[in-house]
Amino acid sequence: MVYPFIFRTVFRRMDPEQAHHLAFRAIALVGRTPVLGGVVQGALAPYLRGPGVEVFGRRVPAPFGVAGGFDKNAEAVRGLTMLGFGFVEIGTVTAHAQPGNERPRLWREIDLGGVRNRMGFNNEGAAAAAERLERLRSTRSGRAVFVGANIGKTKVTPAAEAAGDYATSASLLAPWADYLVVNVSSPNTPGLRDLQSVDALRPILVAVREAADTATEAAGRRRVPLLVKIAPDLADDDVDAVADLALELGLDGVVAVNTTISHDLGEGGLSGRPLLPRGLEVVARLRSRLGARPVIIGVGGITTAADAQAYLDAGADLTQGYTAFIYEGPFWACRINKELVR
């Protein structure tokens, strides 16, 4: 009951990106402070006890995780899991560090329960994220955390060289991630969504698969599953084409969906509650097309446990959220996973 008051009186009056950094630093601090983290995790652990979900041969403690975009540089993985997220997807990470688009680039759409952004993959680069994940994996508790790595194209890399750019990130991150996601669906990097076409996507996925296999074999680690993340704005026929390509290449799954540009609110992609209907449609269509084996991670518009359950009912194996975290507060994920586990 306290958080809505804090949001109205403090966060709502702050610049959205400044508010994000303030909250992010607090979550990262929880993960880095053993006493504080132990108190939080001890309080929430009883709500997350259950059989978990078996995905990629590993147990995920709860089916609702945090989507890519929140922890771009793998700095707050421990803190996020302590707050009740079943798993964390870091990124989007690019092969080379980049500042992203100029500010302002993040806007709240409070009446819609949404957020609009044109961040532009601001991150410290794949090498920095890989170093943090390697450090995380050096401890027993860090190895137990289920972490995905979402990779995108560096803005200055020409589209013709995209495959090599993605492969660079994959080779650095694959040894430390539980799965990789090829992000070709953000609207905030010029030309990126054009890479969702089957002809453009195929060489990227092939290059990433080869780079990841080489890197994990050299490190003596297990093969890392590979997924692709798609936009809600794809036509149904294009969703089918991506699903067919995933089957052709033996991909391990699909993440659906990213932000939408089907709005008249201004610049950037819209996330949050308005995405839920289309997200559910895409997940159901993917499951029908893919069959039972490939993993589907459903994301977009989840605010309540009922929303997450709707994705699971539509055919998703796991679910993710981010936007409602801003509006619902730090124990939002715990509440959702408590209901899903129950």
pLDDT band at 32 (very low <50, low <70, confident <90, very high): confident
Binding site feature residues for FMN = 92, 150, 183, 229, 257, 272, 301, 322-323
Question: Active-site residues: which are they?
Answer: 186
Binding site feature residues for substrate = 72, 117-121, 183, 188, 258-259
pLDDT in tens, 103-125: 999 999 999 999 999 999 999 99
With CA atoms as reference, report the closest residue to 148 among 70, 232, 248, 51: 70
With CA atoms as reference, report the closest residue to 71 among 40, 104, 31, 34: 31
> CATH code at 316?
3.20.20.70
Residue with tokens 């957020």: 115
Binding site feature residues = 72, 92, 117-121, 150, 183, 188, 229, 257-259, 272, 301, 322-323
Domain count, the chain: 1
Q: Domain range for residue 206?
A: 2-341
108 has which bridge partners? 115
pLDDT in tens, 141-166: 889 899 999 999 999 999 999 999 99
Mean local confidence (pLDDT), 72-89: 94
User: pLDDT at residue 50 above 80?
Assistant: no
